[in-house]
Structure 1
Amino acid sequence: MITQLTLREATPDDLPFMLSLAPRLTATAPAWRDQAEMTAGYEGLFTGAIHEPEEGSAVLIAQNPEGQPVGFTLLYWDPKARSAFIKDLAVSERAEGLGVGQFLMQSIEQWAKDKGAVEIMLKTSWYNTRARSFYERAGFQEDHIALVRRLD
């Protein structure tokens, strides 16, 4: 386990790292989704989140003791609902299983509490059983179910 992780806000220099993890975010998409298209869509999302962030949003980078990024999260804040939303959370393959995800979840919780949040929400693919298990261990419970019908 990594014991000396640090957290910092993302900078434009972090964009290549974040984009390198985009395929991990789409790897468990259902077969009827265009995985390459989904992955490509992250370039605009991450670029905007860093260069033109929405008010109250944050992109946080977890880094190892050598200062290398090992994971990140993209967060949004809804002050009206007093709710934080985890848009994305990803850990590099080389740091998998070393506590980076848990470190990010603790950091997200503190970020949300500092804003006065009463809840943290997220969405993950039904097919991403590993992520669902991780979020359940972190105290998340199922609330809504989203159904999708493609109109091709």
Structure 2
Amino acid sequence: MDAIIMKIGDKFAIEGESTLDGHAKQIDLIAVEHEITLPVTFDKSGNSRTRGRSQHGDIIINKYLDKASAKLLEACSKGVDLGKVQLYYARTLEGKFELFWEVEITDVYVSSVKNVSRRGQDLPQETVTLNYTSIKWTYSLYNNQGTKDGSVSAGWDLAQNKAA
């Protein structure tokens, strides 16, 4: 993967330092982690299983300290609703830079910011966690010539516990 970019806020915009075409002033990321689990247990008889409600963990991002850092700390301190946040994953395909995975979350709060600095390290890094109430995933398909050839999307509304 060649780039992960984050666009923050339609309610509380936070700019970054990306210079990528179409994503200028957005936030460059190093890594993104996200986990969804479904509790599954056997009933007392051991003959069938029961399942609970899916558990969506916060989205965890890693990034270098940058222009967005102070505003992310402020958003976490104030408990600001960022509104919509978009994550874009891009790769080089047939010599062109193409988005292949997009994640959009809404009603987003910065639930934590952790700064990590080490002597000898070029730039300090941050781990930022984002809490949300709905999520949408979109995977873009490309043909052998590197042309977009459709997409597949799905989503989940945590508040209503149903597909979005």
TM-score between both structures, scaled by the size of structure 2: 0.25
More strand by share: 2
More helix by share: 1
Higher relative contact order (CA 8 A, sep 6+): 1
TM-score between both structures, scaled by the size of structure 1: 0.27
